[in-house]
């Protein structure tokens, strides 16, 4: 049984933390509000005050993931130096988050494309994309990234990073990190004005 017990109004946070752990260990099909309530030491009805059903819990987990990833990317986007340094920092944070939270990322992208997802999900995804696009637009303004639609360039960067994380996911972390530097350098070489 989990050590986290409900007290002082933090049940929602406890349920989300336990659900994220269970998601990573057993996958979304095994998540149960009743089991999460038991782990938190509350009645089986208590989670209903925070999540109407399992789908609401999954949406909250995905939303939390997008918010946390966006926070990490926003901090990385403030890395001092040239555009290359900021893009490398963004890439490191994105890939690191993906590798550390594989099941959560799967859930995030599943819910992102589900027509039944709440409006907050689309807004969270938009904030994440805007963070990357802002870095691209800044690089364009500095003459370090080619002209063009920042959303298209950001899509190319995101697709590269997601593909990289998928391919290298089981590799040792130092290998992933050193290879990522080269991948981003190659990506940036293709974005340099000619």
63/157 same-domain check: yes
12: containing domain: 1-51
CA dihedral 80, 81, 83, 88 (to 10 degrees): -70
Label residues 90-112 b or e (16+ Cβ within 10 Å = b). bbbbbbbbbbebebbbbbbeebe
Same domain, 42 and 67: no
CA atoms in the 13 A half-sphere facing the CB of 144 = 16
Q: What is the mean pLDDT of the chain?
A: 88
CB 70 within 8 A of CB 124: yes
pLDDT at 1: 45
* Residue 165 and residue 96 share a domain: yes
| 98 touches 105 (CB < 8 A) | yes
Could you tell me the CATH number of the domain that includes residue 122? 1.10.357.10
Average pLDDT per block of 10 residues along the chain, 194 residues long? 54 91 91 87 84 90 96 96 94 95 93 83 93 94 92 90 89 90 89 66
pLDDT of residue 52: 86
Do 39 and 79 fall within a single domain? no
Is the pTM above the cut of 0.75?
yes
Question: Which residue carries 């972390």 as its tokens?
Answer: 173
């Amino acid at each position: 049984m989990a050590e986290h017990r409900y007290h002082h109004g933090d049940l929602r946070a406890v349920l989300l933390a336990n659900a994220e752990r269970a998601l990573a260990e057993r996958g979304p099909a095994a998540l149960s509000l009743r089991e999460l309530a038991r782990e938190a030491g509350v009645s089986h009805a208590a989670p209903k005050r925070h999540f109407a059903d399992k789908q609401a819990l999954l949406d909250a987990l995905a939303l939390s993931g997008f918010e946390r990833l966006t926070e990490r990317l926003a901090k990385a986007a403030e890395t001092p130096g040239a555009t290359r340094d900021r893009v490398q920092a963004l890439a490191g944070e994105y890939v690191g988050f993906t590798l550390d939270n594989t099941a959560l990322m799967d859930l995030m992208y599943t819910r992102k494309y589900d027509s039944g997802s709440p409006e907050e999900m689309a807004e969270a995804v938009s904030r994440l994309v805007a963070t990357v696009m802002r870095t691209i637009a800044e690089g364009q303004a500095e003459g370090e990234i080619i002209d063009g639609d920042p959303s298209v360039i950001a899509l190319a960067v995101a697709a590269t990073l997601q593909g990289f994380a998928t391919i290298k996911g089981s590799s040792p972390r130092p290998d992933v990190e050193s290879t990522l530097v080269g991948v981003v350098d190659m990506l940036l070489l293709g974005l340099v004005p000619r």
